[in-house]
C-alpha cells in the first residue's frame, strides 16, 4: 500500500495573521491539537505513514524530502497536516484507487472541489523527489493530466476539504466536529 506523507513543515503565517497565538498545527481543536487529530485519522487508516516536519521553505521541498525519506514506498498519498477532519476511509479509498488502477495519480474531489490526499504511483517518485518551491506537485499533475494518467475519485468527506489556515477555519472545523460528535462518538 502507498505511504501517507503528512506535510507539517509550513510556517502557518495566515493563521498567525488571523490572530492565532500558536502554530496552526498546535492550535486546540475541541480538546486536541490540529496535528494530533490529523495523525489520529492517519493511524486509524492502517496505512504506512511519514511525518515531514523539518521546516522546509515550500510544499514542493516538503514533498521531495518526504519521498526521499520513503523511497521504498509503494506510492505516496500527499496529505497536508492541516486537514484534521479527514476520514480514515478517505485515505484508504485513495490508496485503493492508486493500487488498483493504471493511473499514475489519483485526485479526490468533494463535489466540485479538489480534495486531499492526492495519490502518486511509485513511478512518479523520482520526479516528486526533485520538487522544490511553493507550488507542490502542480506541474507533475499537469504533466500527468496531459498524458491522461490521472484518475479522479469522488469522496463524500467534508474533512478532505476542511483545512485550517485561519482562526475562522479552526472555529468552522470545531463546529463540524461537534456536529459529527452529536451524530456519533469521535
Nearest CA among 75, 88, 79, 76 for reference residue 35? 79
Helices (H) and strands (E) in the chain, counts: 7, 9
Question: For residue 102, what pLDDT is reported?
Answer: 82
In terms of DSSP H, where are the helices of 1-155? 13-17, 34-45, 59-69, 88-100, 125-128, 138-146
What is the block-wise mean pLDDT of the chain (186 residues), using blocks of 10 residues?
A: 95 91 96 98 98 93 98 97 98 93 93 97 97 95 96 97 97 94 68
Q: What is the pTM of this model?
A: 0.94
Nearest CA among 24, 17, 8 for reference residue 171? 24
Whether 160 and 19 have beta carbons less than 8 Å apart is answered as no
What angle (nearest 5°) sits at the alpha carbon of residue 110, between those of residues 121 and 146? 45
Question: For residue 99, what pLDDT is reported?
Answer: 84
Residue 129 parent element (H or E): none
Instruction: Report the C-alpha gap between 85 and 113 in whole angstroms.
Output: 16
Nearest CA among 83, 82, 63, 75 for reference residue 136? 63
User: Please, is 30 exposed, middle or buried when counting C-beta atoms within 10 Å of its C-beta (0-12, 13-18, 19+)?
Assistant: middle
In terms of DSSP H, where are the helices of 27-71? 34-45, 59-69
Question: For residue 184, what pLDDT is reported?
Answer: 65
Amino acid at each position: 500500500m502507498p505511504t501517507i506523507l503528512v506535510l507539517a513543515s509550513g510556517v502557518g503565517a495566515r493563521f498567525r495573521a488571523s490572530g492565532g497565538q500558536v502554530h496552526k498545527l498546535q492550535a486546540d481543536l475541541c480538546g486536541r491539537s490540529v496535528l494530533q487529530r490529523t495523525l489520529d485519522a492517519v493511524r486509524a487508516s492502517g496505512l504506512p505513514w511519514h511525518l515531514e516536519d523539518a521546516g522546509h521553505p515550500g510544499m514542493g521541498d516538503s514533498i521531495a524530502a518526504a519521498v526521499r525519506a520513503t523511497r521504498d514506498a509503494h506510492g505516496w498519498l500527499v496529505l497536508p497536516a492541516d486537514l484534521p477532519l479527514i476520514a480514515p476511509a478517505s485515505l484508504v479509498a485513495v490508496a485503493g484507487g492508486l493500487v488498483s488502477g493504471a493511473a499514475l495519480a489519483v485526485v479526490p474531489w468533494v463535489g466540485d472541489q479538489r480534495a486531499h490526499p492526492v495519490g502518486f504511483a511509485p513511478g512518479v517518485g523520482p520526479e516528486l523527489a526533485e520538487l522544490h518551491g511553493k507550488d507542490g506537485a502542480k506541474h507533475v499533475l499537469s504533466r500527468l493530466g496531459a498524458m491522461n494518467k490521472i484518475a479522479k475519485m469522488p469522496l463524500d468527506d467534508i474533512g478532505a476539504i476542511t483545512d485550517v489556515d485561519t482562526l475562522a477555519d479552526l472555529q468552522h472545523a470545531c463546529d463540524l466536529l461537534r456536529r459529527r460528535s452529536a451524530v456519533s462518538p469521535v
